[in-house]
Amino acid sequence: MPNQGPALFTRPSCFEMSKAYLVIFVCFSLLPLYRTDNKVNDLIQSKIVNCSTLRMGQFLCPDPSYDLIDPVTQEIRGCTKEGKAKVKCLAVDGLACEGTKNRTFTKEMPCRWTNGYHYDTSLLLSIFLGMFGIDRFYLGYPAIGLAKFCTLGFLFIGQFIDIILIASQVVGPADGSAYVIPYYGARIDVIRSDNTTYKLRQNSW
pLDDT digits (tens, 9 = 90+) for 24-34: 655 555 555 44
Report CA 171 to chain centroid distance, whole Å: 26
Whole-number pLDDT of residue 129: 96
* Residue 42 binned pLDDT confidence (cut-offs 50, 70, 90): very low
* Residue 36 binned pLDDT confidence (cut-offs 50, 70, 90): very low
Question: Mean pLDDT over residues 18-24, rounded?
Answer: 57
Convert the pLDDT of each residue in 82-136 to its tens digit: 999 999 999 998 899 988 889 999 999 999 999 999 999 999 999 999 999 999 9
Supply φ then ψ for residue 43, to 5 degrees: -65, -40
Write the DSSP string, the chain. -----S-S--PPPHHHHHHHHHHHHHHHHHHHHHHHHHHHHHHHHSEEE-GGGPPTTSEESS-TTS--EETTTTEETT--TTSEEEEEEEEPTTEEETTTSSSEEEEEEE---EEEEEHHHHHHHHHHHGGGTHHHHHHT-HHHHHHHHHTHHHHTHHHHHHHHHHHTT-S--TTSPEEE--TTS--------STTTS-PPPTT-
Convert the pLDDT of each residue in 130-148 to its tens digit: 999 999 999 999 999 999 9
For the chain, domain boundaries: 47-112, 117-180
Rg of the chain, C-alpha, whole Å = 32
Residues, the chain: 205
Whole-number pLDDT of residue 41: 46
Q: What's the pTM value of the predicted model, to 2 decimals?
A: 0.68
Whole-number pLDDT of residue 45: 53
Question: Is residue 43 over pLDDT 50?
Answer: no
* Residue 185 binned pLDDT confidence (cut-offs 50, 70, 90): confident
Question: Mean pLDDT over residues 174-199, rounded?
Answer: 80
Q: What dihedral do alpha carbons 144, 145, 150, 152 form, nearest 10°? A: 100
Whole-number pLDDT of residue 128: 96
Of 125 and 204, more confident:
125
